[in-house]
Amino acid sequence: MIKNITIYCASSPGIPTHYFEAAQAVTALLVNHGFGVRYGGGAVGLMGTVADTVLKLDGQITGIIPKFMIDVEWEHKGVKNMIHVNSMHERKALLIQDTSAVLALPGGSGTLEELYEVVSLKKLGFFPHPIILLNTNGYYDPLVEMAQKMADENFMRPEHLKIWSVANTPESVIEAIEKHEPWGPEVINFAAVREGEN
């Protein structure tokens, strides 16, 4: 059975070139390591690059896209295994169904929303798989710093800083997946910070 990885990423076509280069490189590495890709179904931006790269390498890709996005012609026409859903909520649920890992490439508010939903699920013990941030050009440094501040000021536990791994290069994404530490339903026991804890 093929392993699947869910990729969250930008749909904007106007971002700097190095983000496209990193997206292409990491997608090629994942396909060559036997991963099928699940993504948001778009045809432009990093979404389009991810899909185009998988298709070029004859890999397996599944797109999941809300119907309203099809109406405004955001759907990638080359992805044959495209699932049409009625809402963003349904899309997010299906994106992480039957997946082995989540990879967040640089993106905007939609990417962050998807990322933090799966981070919250993992914190509560409902998502046991690796979550990787591809930190191209330090893109996710402010988010990593924010998470550290949350832990420092007891908005979450220091253990929760292990929810994700940060990969600074496409090549280190595979290593981060392989080195993922077990994360099971027992983490619910330390999901909350209790009064008086430091």
What local confidence, expressed as pLDDT, does residue 70 receive?
A: 83
**Domain boundaries of the chain, sorted by first residue:** 3-190
What local confidence, expressed as pLDDT, does residue 184 receive?
A: 81
Is the model's pLDDT at 193 over the cut of 80? no
Q: Is 10 helix (H, G, I), strand (E, B) or coil?
A: coil
Is the model's pLDDT at 195 over the cut of 70? no
Is the model's pLDDT at 198 over the cut of 60? no
Work out the mean pLDDT of the chain and round it to a whole number: 94
Is the model's pLDDT at 197 over the cut of 90? no
Please, what is the Cα angle at 109 between 84 and 50, to 5 degrees?
A: 55
Asked whether the beta carbons of 123 and 156 are under 8 A apart, the reply is yes
Is the model's pLDDT at 83 over the cut of 80? yes
Q: Name the band, by pLDDT with cuts 50, 70 and 90, for residue 194.
A: low
What local confidence, expressed as pLDDT, does residue 187 receive?
A: 84
CA–CA gap between residue 86 and residue 67 (Å, rounded): 6
What local confidence, expressed as pLDDT, does residue 136 receive?
A: 98
Which of 134, 133, 107 is CA-nearest to residue 46? 107
Which of 1, 15, 6 is CA-nearest to residue 40? 6
Stated pTM of the model: 0.94
The CATH classification number of 3-190 equals 3.40.50.450
Name the percent of the chain lying above pLDDT 90: 86
88-136, pLDDT tens digit by residue? 999 999 999 999 999 999 999 999 999 999 999 999 999 999 999 999 9
